Structure 1
Amino acid sequence: MQNELDAVVNEQASEVVLEKPESQLKEMWFSLIANKGAVAGLVIILLLTLVAVFGRFIMPYDPNYSDMTISFQSPSAAHWFGTDQLGRDIFSRIIDGTHISLTVGISAVALSLTIGTILGAIAGYRGGKIDTVIMRIMDMMLAIPSILLAIAFMAALGKGIDKAVIAIGLVCIPEYARIVRGCILSVKENDYVQAARVVGNKDFRIVFKHILPNVLSSIVVRATLGISSAVLDTAALGFLGLGVQPPFAEWGDMLGRARGFIFSAPYTLIFPGIAITITVLAFNLLGDGLRDALDPKSRKI
């Protein structure tokens, strides 16, 4: 009897493998690279990553060095993006801010994705009262605008990079919990899941080995788009003076401190704003491309 059950599981597993053969993975890749927007987003993200990793070696000046004698200098050969009110090189500070923005954005998404996946998996697989309690808590969090909730968490936790990661990560948990729950509800009654349950696999193994791998595409797409939202939230908190604090060069903080010079020195706002826009746009383009590539109905090749 046990051998027959094992054969059923193996048969179901082979069917799952056949759903995503190597040829389909190639089609996904070709569909992704055929999307010019996705390729542009991927290239920009790679460049931003290189800047974040090796930025210290290409900065023309110390991003935190202040020289009041050269404050508010317009863009020139000596200072490509000009200098701010404290005489700091804006180009160097934007390079330094790349590391901070990507670190906070990716770390916040990693935190929210981990907790959201666990909560969504428990709610979707278990169902019943556990599902009701978890999802009502998620609904209450979603009912509050994300930026207001992030401000509330920052007020409770304090200021700093690590606090910004926690605040933004907590705010995004409901989105991932709902996505994972919905995906699990759509596949948990499939034959291969039932077969795995019959042969005695524990719930944890069923969820993380048999169910989640088959809904991974939806999670990956949302996480990619989530990084852009996290970068934007980081900048918003910095603009309000609640996020990353000086002397760290953070794009939102640069905007907030330069808003009083919008007419006298507009370049102090323009360049940090462009950096935020390009980063958010790049992750959105890549996320849209991944969504189209992983959705068979939308593939063009």
Structure 2
Amino acid sequence: MAAEQIANQNNEIANVKIEKPESEFKQMWYALTRNKAAVVGMAIIGFLIFLAVFGKFLMPYDPNYGDMSINKLTPSAAHWFGTDEQGRDIFSRVIDGTRVSLSVGVAAVSFALVIGTLFGAIAGYKGGKIDTIIMRFMDIMMSIPDILLAITFMAALGRGIDKAVIAIGLVSIPEYARIVRGSIMSIKDSEYVQAAKVIGNKDGAIIFRHILPNVLSPIIVRATLGISSAVLNTAALGFLGLGVQPPYAEWGDMLGRARVFIFEAPYMLIFPGLAITITVLAFNLLGDGLRDAFDPKARH
């Protein structure tokens, strides 16, 4: 009888299914999708990317073609957002501006991310005088407002879309450098880093193979939020006439050219202004959602 009971217990144990713990990525994705604001941000960003890629097939008119006989038309069935002072279709230009603004924003953040990560990694890992020199220089840059520093760089580099990418990227470097430095300093003395040193790995391999993969979370969050700042800075430079130049359609440039018609044709400012606002809001919502998703404490 006892043997039968033991056999039954063994069968029950064998039939019990051991649930595998969910992967870290699945947990983060689940936390992100539960955040309604982040989901809205992702949906808007997805739509903006769609417009940037396929917008040329959706534009009813050439965004750079003007007809002075139809300038400053109010929104209508023929021109949904109206026309500007040169008779160009604002709806087509707003769509075309999506490609320009997102391209500049992503390129500037990518540039700042690479350079900032490199400087931050060197400063955090090496420490000492190297850390002091690099971070004091970053502190000097951070003490100057972003837009003023970007204007200074644009004055030195000249106008143009490529110059705007460099200027906005240079302004953003200190943020990534400080984040990477702080993250590396918190883990550079951990056991797995010391083990990598003992077995003879070089400093470069330790930084890029063992340390940086473990500090990706704050970098990704900052990069997502950084795109919104880059789009805003691009618009600010364009508004001042220093950023993206014609014939490119850029939201800030559209605002700058339309500001003299604010009372005569306010729609010329409303639609590019809404495009900037919605884009910046979307990346901020996604960035906040990613920050919570990456934080294990915020998931529960």
What TM-score range do you get, normalising by the shorter chain?
over 0.9
- 2:254 alignment partner in structure 1: 254
- 1:212 alignment partner in structure 2: 212
Question: 1:152-301, aligned counterparts within 5 Å?
Answer: 152-300=152-300
Structure 2: distance between partners of 1:178 and 1:73: 49
User: Match of 1:244, as an amino acid?
Assistant: V
Question: Which digits, 9 at most, give the CA deviation of each residue in 1:230-259, with x for residues without a partner?
Answer: 000000000000000111100000000000
Identity of aligned residues (%): 75
Structure 1: distance between partners of 2:26 and 2:243: 42
Question: Which digits, 9 at most, give the CA deviation of each residue in 1:159-187, with x for residues without a partner?
Answer: 00000000000000000000000000000
How far off its partner does 1:25 sit?
Answer: 1.7
Question: Which digits, 9 at most, give the CA deviation of each residue in 1:3-52, with x for residues without a partner?
Answer: xxxxxxxxxxxxxxxxxx75222111000000011011001111100100
User: Match of 2:178, as an amino acid?
Assistant: R
- 2:82 alignment partner in structure 1: 82
- 2:115 alignment partner in structure 1: 115
Structure 1: distance between partners of 2:218 and 2:163: 28
SS in 1 for 2:23: helix
How far off its partner does 1:92 sit?
Answer: 0.1
User: Match of 1:154, as an amino acid?
Assistant: M
Question: Which digits, 9 at most, give the CA deviation of each residue in 1:86-120, with x for residues without a partner?
Answer: 11000000000000000000000000000000000
- 1:9 alignment partner in structure 2: none
How far off its partner does 1:297 sit?
Answer: 1.1
- 2:73 alignment partner in structure 1: 73
- 1:51 alignment partner in structure 2: 51
- 1:125 alignment partner in structure 2: 125
- 2:32 alignment partner in structure 1: 32
SS in 1 for 2:83: coil
Greater Rg over alpha carbons, structure: 2
Moved over 2 A (4+): 21-24
Structure 2: distance between partners of 1:261 and 1:66: 17
User: Match of 2:154, as an amino acid?
Assistant: M
User: Match of 1:297, as an amino acid?
Assistant: K
User: Match of 2:104, as an amino acid?
Assistant: V
Structure 2: distance between partners of 1:236 and 1:99: 17
* TM-score normalised by L of structure 1: 0.92
Structure 1: distance between partners of 2:145 and 2:172: 11
How far off its partner does 1:204 sit?
Answer: 0.5
Structure 2: distance between partners of 1:25 and 1:144: 38
Structure 1: distance between partners of 2:25 and 2:60: 43
SS in 2 for 1:66: coil
Structure 2: distance between partners of 1:110 and 1:130: 24
User: Match of 1:62, as an amino acid?
Assistant: D
- 1:23 alignment partner in structure 2: 23
| Aligned residue-pair number | 280
Question: Which digits, 9 at most, give the CA deviation of each residue in 1:195-218, with x for residues without a partner?
Answer: 011100010111111111111001
Question: Which digits, 9 at most, give the CA deviation of each residue in 1:42-68, with x for residues without a partner?
Answer: 011111001001111110000000101
RMSD: 0.8
Structure 2: distance between partners of 1:115 and 1:83: 41
Structure 2: distance between partners of 1:179 and 1:22: 29
- 1:4 alignment partner in structure 2: none
User: Match of 1:170, as an amino acid?
Assistant: L
SS in 1 for 2:76: coil
- 2:12 alignment partner in structure 1: none
Structure 1: distance between partners of 2:181 and 2:134: 10
- 1:3 alignment partner in structure 2: none
Instruction: Return 5+ residue gaps in structure 1 as ranges.
Output: 1-20
- 1:146 alignment partner in structure 2: 146
Structure 2: distance between partners of 1:298 and 1:33: 14
* TM-score normalised by L of structure 2: 0.92
How far off its partner does 1:275 sit?
Answer: 0.2
- 2:3 alignment partner in structure 1: none
